[in-house]
Amino acid sequence: MCLSSFRWFRSVSSSDDPHSYIHGVLERGDHGPYRHIQFDLRTLNDAIQKDAERIARSIEADVKNAVAGNRDEEVTIQNHLGNVTFKCLVSTPHNLSELVQIIGKAKRENQSVKAIGGFYAFSPVCETTGYAIKTDHLVGTSPTPAATLKDPARAEGLYDVLCGTSLQKVVEVLEKDGRALLNLGGFAGQSSIGATATGTHGSGLTVPPLASMILGINLISGQFDTSSGLPVQYRIEPTNGITNPKSHPPSWVLIQDDREFNAAMTGLGAMGVIYSTTITTVPFYWVRELREMVDWPTAKGLLEQGAQGDILKYHNAEVWINPYTSKVLLTRREKLTTPPAGELAGPNSHMFTAITKDLSALHAVVDHIFSDPVIDLEGLLGIILALLLRLFPLLLPAALDLALQTQDHVQPKVAKYYDIYEIGLADNFPAISTEISYPMTSYLSAADATISLLQKLRKQDIHQAVVSPVSLRFTASTPANLSMSYSTNPSQSSGRCYLELPSLFYFYKSVQVYDAISKPHTEESVNMYQGRMHWGQYITPSFTTLQYQPHDPEFYASITSFKEVAEKFDPGHMMANAFLRKVIWLETGN
């Protein structure tokens, strides 16, 4: 609803609490003037409870649509969120031989190939009109055999991980051996390759993105042996790679070359299907988390202190900003390498899970929509929360403050590393997000510009808003060509800051409403602040990497280098899809 269509109430003050606002919207179907409505969760709960039946009627059709999904034929597949849907041939190999055979078959049939990991990416990176190779059965994590290494003593802490293994499963296996991953993002449901192929990262200025744990890559390429008709298999490592060429199995062509390795680490599947990787791990660790609510000017002052300042000096640092009120939750984390004394905290609970727990009146809304008991109640509450905010969008700013407060804890929290890093958001709260990385020299200006843009858009149209705090995270740089943290000289680089715009998906009537936020944000970020788009998050359809050429020549040159290497491994572009052809290969006509 546009601001211009708001009806001005005679008595503005009477509509300034959630009771009268909710009642007013249900009675008259409008929101009154643009304003901030303050409340606590108890008042909101009472207001929902009072009008539960009418709220239920207003959102019933959308809830039922969301729960039913809109999957049709078997050959039409859809990512988790449901914003990427396409028709294709699906293959689910169970082992290396089946994987190699299906790629050979695709070649004979002149079909393209795209591997699918967890299928979580919001961008159309998995899309294909040919074979979608689901890697769900290519799973397993095992210690790397010492016999193949140049230095067998280096085998400790090295693991071979099959491509479809979820990060969660890798973490579980490692813990049994007293080992851990260097870092995790806010979610561990991705497959090991799906995550690293798009540049997935956690937070901490000294911690590079997850692909930095890879030491060797076993790739089934888009090159074919002319006699067998089967794809050529490569083992790709850095120049000083770990494998002893003399004890290396001949079925895999060994390449030890930094340039090719840097292209393959984060490759969007453009060089072929990665069967497995060898990763390095660290001894198991715990994390001590401290949190503090401040306002954005205070947070900015602390961030301006730089890498040794009171936020960025921590092993992990995150800054969550409510763009509509300027309230900020600071997270500072230290790594503990010895077992902490005392009881450990359990897994983190996401802010929206915490909110829905406190809003028991949402159950009354559910009861008015469904007469039978609901199977996935938590998932349903996530959808209802988003639809409730769509129905009463003036509640959003204060609701986000309350959401941030659920995550604040004055007492330090100590837990296993994965319980701290994973924020617990997944299918229960269908969410979409765009994420952009910036140099450390421009990220604060970019964050200010983002906050201004978000406030402006919401004032123009009350539904052009993000239903979640904006987050800032940080990483060290990496030589991986396509990584959003790429640097020609990682050890000298000051790292990158990632700004994410997550939002509950069902707040929007269509993905185009989110795009109306993401697109101008992308344009401004790339053109003015040297922003780089996260490949596995939502990317506005008009974006191509050509936009980096004038504003970020370092990254553009790196992408060009990537393409030269990818061309060698997939000369016929059979591993490309419409997204890669347009965005990376810059082909026109898609």
Site residues (CB under 6 A) for ligand FAD?
Answer: 114-121, 125-126, 135, 163, 185-187, 190-191, 193-195, 197-198, 200-201, 268-269, 273-274, 425-426, 534, 536-537
Nearest partner of 114 among 479, 489, 577, 549, judged by Cα: 577
CA distance 472 to 205: 12
Nearer to ligand FAD, 116 or 364 (CB): 116
- Distance in angstroms (rounded) separating the CA atoms of residues 483 and 536: 11
Q: In the complex, what is the shortest distance from the CB of residue 432 to ligand FAD, in angstroms, rounded to a whole number?
A: 9
Distances (CA, A) of 316 to 238, 312, 335, 494: 27, 8, 8, 15
In whole angstroms, the minimum distance from the beta carbon of 161 to ligand FAD comes to: 11
Closest approach, Cβ 423 to ligand FAD, in A, equals 8
Residue with tokens 């997270």: 331
What is d(CA 33, CA 315) in angstroms, rounded to the nearest whole number? 45
Count CB neighbours of 297 within 10 A: 9
Q: Which is nearer to ligand FAD, 241 or 272 (CB)?
A: 272
Nearer to ligand FAD, 397 or 531 (CB): 531
- Residue number, nearest CB to ligand FAD: 194
Residue labelled with tokens 């604040």? 408
From residue 155, how far is each of 143, 251, 356, 397, 546 by CA, in Å?
Answer: 8, 22, 47, 52, 42
Least distance to ligand FAD, CB of residue 92, Å = 13
> Which whole-number Å values give the CA distances from 110 to 72, 575, 590, in the listed order?
26, 11, 19
Distance between CA atoms of 280 and 210, rounded to whole angstroms?
11
Distance of CA 558 to the CA centre of its chain: 23
The beta strand positions in 32-147, using DSSP E, are: 76-78, 85-87, 89-91, 113-116, 131-134, 141-143
Q: How far apart are CA 324 and CA 123, in angstroms?
A: 27
**Cα–Cα dist 390/61, whole Å:** 14
Nearest distance, CB of residue 322 and ligand FAD, angstroms: 19
Least CB distance to ligand FAD at residue 200 (A) = 4
* Pairing, β 231-237 against β 131-134: unpaired
Q: Residue 263 — left, alpha, or beta (φ > 0 → left; ψ -120 to 50 → alpha)?
A: alpha
Nearer to ligand FAD, 291 or 363 (CB): 291
CB-wise, 32 or 231, nearer to ligand FAD?
A: 231
What distance in Å separates the CA atoms of residue 441 and residue 533, rounded to the nearest whole number?
Answer: 17
Residue nearer to ligand FAD on the CB measure, 195 or 215: 195
Closest distance of CB 261 from ligand FAD, Å: 15
Q: How far is the CB of 421 from ligand FAD (least distance, A)?
A: 8
Interatomic CA distance for residues 587 and 590, integer angstroms: 7
Output the smallest distance, CB 133 to ligand FAD, in A: 8
Choose between 22 and 271: whose C-beta lies nearer to ligand FAD.
271
Smaller CB separation from ligand FAD, 361 or 501: 501
Of 82 and 520, which CB lies nearer to ligand FAD in the complex structure? 82
Q: How far is the CB of 321 from ligand FAD (least distance, A)?
A: 16
Amino acid code (one letter) for 336: L
401/567 Cα distance (integer angstroms) = 49
Q: Which phi and psi (to 5°) does residue 151 adopt?
A: -125, 95
Q: Please, which residue, 163 or 366, has the CB nearer to ligand FAD?
A: 163
